[in-house]
Amino acid sequence: MDHPPSDQVGIGWRIVRWAILQRLGRSARKVLLPRTMIRQDQTRWRWLRADVDRFLAATDREALALRRIARLGDLPTLGNRLMVELAVFTVAAYRVMLDQAHDAVDAQAAVADVGWDVYAAMMRLSSLPGRLSSRNPGRRLRGTIRLLLRFPFSAPGAPGYAVESWVEGEDIVTHFSHCPPQSFVRAVIETQGDRGEMEAFYRSWCLYDWPGADIIAGDGRRGHYQRHQTLSRGDARCDMCWRANPQPIDDQKA
């Protein structure tokens, strides 16, 4: 059985968390230091390096508290646990910004931009084999998505990821009916009240796939992704289609 202790205190997992925090720190400094934020009293506020350092330290402390809700040890695979760990940091960062008196909508945008810097780097790395081995965007998409469905999005079913996938012509379709990070965010809201965490999750995680698909395809065009239903919006599934041939950018009911 691949079930670690629920608090994930092993040395290997401590190293993973340290690595995530280090990468988050680099992205936060890159994104936040040039950024002007809106405060809850509608005044404007700029980040200094000491402010970012305090934000990161507070995010690490908040993540520690949120892991009691995440129940990482109940998840069936390492990849599933890794994705929920990343969601823990996303929600923690957003809640810390609220605690530091930033406007909720502005905090959601800032967290999304920091997260995108991390996500884009992950997409460039995971799609590198496909981009090196083929110039066909469909092959790149199909190969990379199949790889990602093995790790970290392996799908043993709830409480892990649950997904059906198939190929339609040159496209690959993935219908996710259970998403552990999204379930974690719902659990936070149910146990601690709604501070806009699901909207912060949606504006980051749920909107990355459009540009992420374009990174994977690597053909300089936009519109390689389509989705009409989204779990975080209350739908029964995320009906994702990764398209070899670009579709109109406005073709998104997300």
8-18 confidence digits (pLDDT tens)? 557 888 899 99
Per-residue pLDDT of the chain (254 residues; tens, 9 = 90+): 344 445 555 788 889 999 999 999 999 999 999 999 999 999 999 999 999 999 999 999 999 999 999 999 899 999 999 999 999 999 999 999 999 999 999 999 999 999 999 999 999 999 999 999 999 999 999 999 999 999 999 999 999 999 999 999 999 999 999 999 999 999 999 999 999 999 999 999 999 999 999 999 999 999 999 999 999 999 999 999 999 998 766 555 55
- Sign of CA pseudo-dihedral 132, 136, 140, 142: negative
Q: Distance between CA 14 and CA 113 in Å, rounded?
A: 25
Q: From the CB of residue 24, how many other CB atoms can be counted at a distance below 10 Å?
A: 23
Helix, strand, coil % in the chain, rounded to nearest 5 = 60, 15, 30
Task: Tell which phi-psi region holds residue 104, choosing left (phi > 0), alpha (psi between -120 and 50) or beta.
Answer: alpha
pTM value is 0.93
- First and final C-alpha spacing in the chain: 36
What percent of the chain shows pLDDT beyond 90?
91
> Do residues 231 and 209 touch, judged by C-beta distance below 8 A?
no
Question: Any idea where the domains of the chain sit in the sequence?
Answer: 11-123, 135-242
For the stretch 52-76, pLDDT in tens is 999 999 999 999 999 999 999 899 9
Interatomic CA distance for residues 160 and 26, integer angstroms: 29
